[in-house]
C-alpha cells in the first residue's frame, strides 16, 4: 500500500495553507503548527485524495479540502488531550499542545483549527462538502462519540453503545473524508454508496484495532502510554469481547469493507489499507 507521495503532498499543502509562525498572533499560529506537524499518518486527507482519484478526480482542488480534514482531526486531538478530558501529557511521543503552550492556548488553537478548516472547505465552492463535514463532527458524529466515550468511563455498557461510541468518535470523520473526496470528483450515487460502506466498516475496524493496540502495543511504538484506556476505565472492544474476540470482529469488518467496493474497479489502495489495518492488530 503506497501513500507516501500523497502524505508528503499533504504536508506541503498544510505548510502552505496554515498561517506562518511570524504572522500575528504568533503564539497561536505556533501552537496550531506545533500540533499539526507533530507527526501522524495523515490518514483522513489521504483517504480524501485517494477517494477523489478513485472517483475520477484529477485536479489539485482536492488538497485544501483534504487538509481541512486533517485540521479537524488535529483540533479534536488537542481538545481530547486537555486535563479536563483525557489528560494526556504525550501525543505521538511529544508533549501535548497544552503541555507545550498552556491550557488556554491549546483550547484556542483547537478552536482556530476548527474555524480554519471551514475556511478551507469553503474554497471548494461546494456547499455540500461543508454540510457533510459539519454533520460528521458535531452531535451526530465526532463530538457525540467523545461525549459517549467520556460518559462510559467506569461503567458497564452494552455492545450497541460501544459500537455507537466508536462509529461516532472515529468512523464518522473517516467516512466523511472518503465521501467528500468522492463528492469533489462528482461521484455517482452508486460510487458514493460503495465508498460510504467501505468507510463505515473500515473506520470501525480501525478504532477496534486501536483499542487492541492500546492493550498489547508498546509505549515506544505508539508514542503514547499503553493501557491509558484501562487506566481511565474506558469502554473498549477488548474489555467487552477480549483481545481475540475483538480481533475476530475487526476481521469481519475488514472483509465487509472490501466487499462494499464495486468489482471491476482499481480498488487496490483500499484493499491494501484494509489489510494493513487488521495486520497491525497482530
Q: Looking at beta carbons only, is 24 or 218 nearer to a copy of itself?
A: 24
What is the closest distance, in whole angstroms, from the C-beta atom of residue 140 to a copy of itself in the complex? 8
Choose which of 56, 138, 225, 262 interacts with a copy of itself (CB under 8 A).
138
H-only helix segments in the chain: 4-17, 26-36, 43-54, 62-81, 97-101, 103-122, 127-136, 142-151, 159-166, 172-184, 189-216, 219-222, 228-231, 237-260, 268-280
224 and 90 Cβ atoms separated by less than 8 Å: yes
Site string for a copy of itself, 227-256 (x = CB under 8 A): ------------------------------
Structural contact between residues 228 and 214, judged by C-beta atoms closer than 8 angstroms: yes
> Grid coordinates representing 118?
471551514
- Is the peptide bond preceding residue 25 cis, with omega within 30 degrees of 0? yes
CB of 227 to a copy of itself, least distance (A): 21
Distance CA 125, CA 121 (A): 8
Q: Is 20 in the site for a copy of itself (CB under 8 A)?
A: no
Query: Is position 111 an interface residue for a copy of itself (rule: CB under 8 A)?
Result: yes
Give the residue with the Cβ less far from a copy of itself, 93 or 138: 138
Q: Is residue 28 part of the contact set for a copy of itself (CB under 8 A)?
A: yes
Among 48, 77, 108, 183, binds a copy of itself (CB under 8 A): 108
Picking from 134, 161, 123, the residue whose alpha carbon sits closest to that of residue 145 is 161
127 forms part of the interface with a copy of itself (CB under 8 A): yes
Q: Which three cell numbers stand for residue 236?
A: 473498549
Closest by CA position to 276, among listed 261, 256, 254, 260: 254
**Hey, which residues does 91 pair with through a beta bridge?**
94
Tell the smallest beta-carbon distance from residue 82 to a copy of itself (Å): 7
Contact call for residues 177 and 204 (beta carbons, < 8 A): no
Residue window 210-229: x/- pattern of binding to a copy of itself, with contact defined by CB under 8 A: --------------------
CB of 157 to a copy of itself, least distance (A): 13
Residues 181 and 49: beta-carbon distance below 8 Å: yes
**Is 176 near a copy of itself (CB under 8 A)?**
no
Q: Which is nearer to a copy of itself, 101 or 270 (CB)?
A: 101
Give contact residues for a copy of itself (rule: CB under 8 A): 19, 23-25, 27-29, 32, 76, 79, 82, 84-85, 102-105, 107-108, 110-112, 114-116, 118-119, 121-128, 130-131, 133-135, 137-139, 142-144, 146-148, 150-151
Amino acid at each position: 500500500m503506497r501513500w507516501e507521495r500523497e502524505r508528503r503532498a499533504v504536508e506541503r499543502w498544510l505548510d502552505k495553507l496554515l498561517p506562518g509562525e511570524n504572522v500575528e498572533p504568533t503564539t497561536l499560529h505556533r501552537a496550531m503548527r506545533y500540533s499539526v506537524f507533530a507527526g501522524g499518518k495523515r490518514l483522513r486527507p489521504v483517504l480524501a485524495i485517494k477517494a477523489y482519484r478513485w472517483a475520477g478526480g484529477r485536479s489539485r482542488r482536492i488538497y485544501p479540502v483534504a487538509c481541512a480534514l486533517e485540521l479537524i482531526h488535529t483540533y479534536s486531538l488537542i481538545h481530547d488531550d486537555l486535563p479536563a478530558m483525557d489528560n494526556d501529557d504525550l501525543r505521538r511521543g511529544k508533549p501535548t499542545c497544552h503541555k507545550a503552550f498552556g491550557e488556554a492556548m491549546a483550547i484556542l488553537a483547537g478552536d482556530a483549527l476548527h474555524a480554519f478548516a471551514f475556511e478551507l472547505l469553503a474554497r471548494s465552492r461546494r456547499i455540500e462538502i461543508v454540510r457533510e463535514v459539519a454533520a460528521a463532527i458535531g452531535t451526530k458524529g465526532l463530538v457525540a462519540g467523545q461525549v459517549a466515550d467520556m460518559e462510559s468511563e467506569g461503567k458497564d455498557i452494552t455492545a450497541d453503545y460501544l459500537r455507537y461510541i466508536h462509529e461516532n468518535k472515529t468512523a464518522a470523520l473517516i467516512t466523511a473524508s472518503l465521501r467528500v473526496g468522492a463528492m469533489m470528483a462528482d461521484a455517482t450515487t452508486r460510487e458514493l454508496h460503495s465508498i460510504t460502506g467501505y468507510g463505515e466498516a473500515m473506520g470501525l475496524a480501525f478504532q477496534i484495532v486501536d483499542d487492541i493496540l492500546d492493550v498489547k502495543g508498546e509505549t515506544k511504538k505508539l508514542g503514547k502510554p499503553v493501557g491509558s484506556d484501562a487506566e481511565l476505565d474506558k469502554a473498549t472492544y477488548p474489555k467487552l469481547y477480549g483481545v481475540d474476540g475483538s480481533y475476530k470482529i475487526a476481521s469481519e469488518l475488514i472483509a465487509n469493507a472490501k466487499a462494499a467496493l464495486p468489482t471491476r474497479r482499481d480498488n487496490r489502495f483500499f484493499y491494501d489499507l484494509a489489510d494493513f489495518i487488521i495486520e497491525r492488530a497482530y
